[in-house]
Amino acid sequence: MPTSPFSHIPIFINYLAVTRPDSILDIGLGNGKLGFLARDLLDVMMGERYRKEQWQVRIDGIEVFENYIQTFQREIYDHIYIGDAFDIIEQMDSYDMVILGDILEHFEKQKAWEFLDRCMVKAEKYIILNIPLGEAWTQPEIYENPYEKHLSFWSREELNPFIWKFKLFDFPPGKYGSFLIRKKDYTTYRYNQFMDHYHQP
């Protein structure tokens, strides 16, 4: 969807306040809500840089569905790249933080893990992952956007091994999670997975 639940905004702000990234890549930016919040907190409030020409935090975005992008998003983000993030991420620079807001469920599970690996290569320090949890979170193509369909389902247990901070929310379809992931925790987990698989008889 071009937007997302509002309940996780306070924890999102808390994650930004704790980590204070100087550069952010917002993948699947949609309506631009998370980019606006990051700009308001990091540049305007904490940095006391109200005017756009004073902003110092780099906030870029990737959006697969160009029709979501309007003038106001381009005023908030430094650059917006249109296309499939699975491919575009390979050509991107590194960022202190990568935001994945309601993204992984739009990939089939194996491809989603590969995409998460690619994102972590580009994330110098952190990933914020917002994601619906459980198989009740079905979604067809909506907003005339074929990419809106949910192709995978996720559980908290799958993500637990590399989560640093988290907050869970209750919605009619089920749990919704907002997770802060440190690069070192994720890379250690994936390395151990690889080694376990490598040493299997």
Q: What is the largest CA-CA distance in the chain?
A: 61
Per-domain boundaries in the chain: 9-198
The pLDDT of residue 124 is 97
In CATH, what class is 9-198? alpha beta
For residue range 39-63, what is the model confidence (pLDDT) as tens digits?
999 999 999 999 999 999 999 999 9
**Nearest-CA neighbor of 73 among 33, 133, 111?**
33
Long-range contacts of 51-59 (CB under 8 A, 24+ apart): 56/22, 57/21, 57/22, 57/23, 57/24, 58/22, 58/23, 58/24, 58/95, 59/23, 59/24, 59/26, 59/35
Query: Pairing relation of β-strands 79-82 and 95-101?
Result: unpaired
What's the Cα-to-Cα distance from 199 to each of 33, 40, 173, 186, rounded to whole Å? 45, 48, 40, 20
Integer Cα distance of 31 and 25 in angstroms: 15
Q: Give the model's pLDDT for residue 142.
A: 77
CB of 102 within 8 A of CB of 139? no
Model-level pTM? Answer: 0.93
The span from the CA of 84 to the CA of 68, in Å, is 14
The pLDDT of residue 81 is above 70: yes
pLDDT at residue 199 is higher than 90: no
Cα–Cα distance for residue pair 197/122, rounded to 1 Å: 25
State the Cα–Cα distance between residues 26 and 35, nearest whole angstrom: 7
